[in-house]
């Protein structure tokens, strides 16, 4: 009964979305720090009936269901990098979608190490797989399978009017972290992933309809990133983009909409984050992302 209700809801939502143009849904805008109403990093780009999922933070399947995107998994899952807060929901996406009667594999695309990570997740759940397949639940045999692939930058998907390009961005000591550019018949969307200020982001986001970008408050404002304890100003400079730095980048790239996600607040209010972006010189439309907002 529960599965049937979820399936009906998902079908109705999919039919409605199929009539729409490209949309972006912020499923999770959080950080590693747990919070009652904020989920881990995850963004969905919906084109017709296809859901392209970017990152798999904590609570990702809950958020996909709440957003009406179905519970049998995305069309494809793309990983920006392999930090735990962006990948801790991988097992959730793989196995919850199977329990909810997924029957076909979906692709998981990410930087070097993606295949190894997925292989180890599957091994960790080998007992679960055996019991759900051979026990009283009688789940679809091999319905849990996915198709992981390590990629280098370049076009990683090009089908039925959707082209997705992965490009490298700087993220501290990570050898490879990606941003993604999604081009459809109606929109161009760029997702930064986690990055310090990047010429690659600026170049790919030039004139984009939406730039989805991480941010932290500019040091020296009322917010204090160093107050988070285990991190330092040097960490933030190497791994992330401050509000003022993002304002400078956006002023040059000129996206129609700057959508903030993966927000390291460190005590900053929305107004303080926006003030930093304006100080950087961006005068266009900016939205501080919240869970489940859609553009």
Q: What is the CA radius of gyration of the chain?
A: 19
Is 55 annotated in the active site? no
Identify any residues that bridge with 159 across adjacent strands, giving them in sequence order: 162
Burial of residue 133 (CB within 10 Å: 0-12, 13-18, 19+) is middle
CA of 211: how far to CAs of 167, 181, 203, 287, in Å?
A: 14, 9, 12, 11
Residues 6+ apart with CB under 8 A from 63: 27, 28, 39, 42, 291, 292
State both tokens at 83.
Answer: 């930090």
Residue in this structure with the two tokens 């304006």, named with its chain if needed: 278
Contact (CB, 8 A) for 215 and 242: yes
Q: Whole-angstrom Cα distance, residue 60 to residue 247?
A: 29
Nearest-angstrom CA–CA distance, 289 and 55: 16
Catalytic one among 20, 55, 85, 270?
85
Q: Which helix (H) or strand (E) holds 271?
A: helix 270-280
Six-digit token string for 202: 């600026």
What are the DSSP calls for 50-68, one per residue?
Answer: EEEEE---TTHHHHHHHTT
Tokens standing for 197? Answer: 């200020």
* 3-state class percentages of the chain: helix first, strand second, coil last, to nearest 5: 35, 25, 40
* Residues that are catalytic: 85
């Amino acid at each position: 009964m529960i599965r049937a209700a979820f399936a009906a809801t998902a079908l109705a939502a999919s039919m409605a979305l199929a009539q729409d143009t490209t949309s972006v849904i912020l499923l999770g805008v959080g950080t590693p720090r747990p919070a009652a109403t904020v989920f881990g990093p995850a963004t969905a780009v919906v084109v017709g009936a296809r859901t392209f999922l970017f990152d798999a933070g904590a609570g990702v399947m809950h958020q996909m269901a709440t957003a009406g995107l179905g519970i049998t998994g995305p069309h494809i899952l793309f990983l920006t990098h392999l930090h735990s807060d962006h990948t801790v929901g991988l097992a959730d996406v793989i196995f919850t979608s199977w329990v909810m009667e997924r029957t076909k594999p979906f692709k998981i695309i990410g930087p070097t190490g993606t295949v190894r990570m997925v292989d180890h997740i599957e091994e960790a759940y080998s007992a679960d797989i055996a019991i759900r397949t051979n026990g009283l639940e009688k789940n679809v045999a091999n319905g849990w399978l996915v198709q992981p692939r390590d990629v280098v930058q370049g076009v990683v998907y090009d089908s039925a009017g959707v082209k997705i390009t992965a490009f490298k961005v700087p993220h501290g000591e990570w050898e490879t972290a990606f941003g993604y550019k999604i081009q459809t018949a109606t929109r161009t969307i760029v997702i930064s992933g986690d990055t310090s200020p990047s010429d690659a982001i600026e170049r790919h986001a030039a004139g984009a309809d939406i730039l989805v970008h991480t941010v932290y408050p500019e040091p020296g404002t009322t917010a204090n990133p160093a107050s988070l304890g285990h991190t330092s100003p040097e960490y933030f400079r190497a791994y992330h983009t401050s509000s003022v730095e993002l304002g400078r980048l956006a002023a040059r790239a000129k996206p129609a909409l700057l959508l903030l996600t993966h927000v390291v607040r460190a005590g900053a209010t929305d107004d303080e984050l926006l003030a930093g972006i304006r100080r950087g010189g961006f005068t266009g439309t900016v939205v501080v992302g919240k869970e489940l907002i859609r553009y």
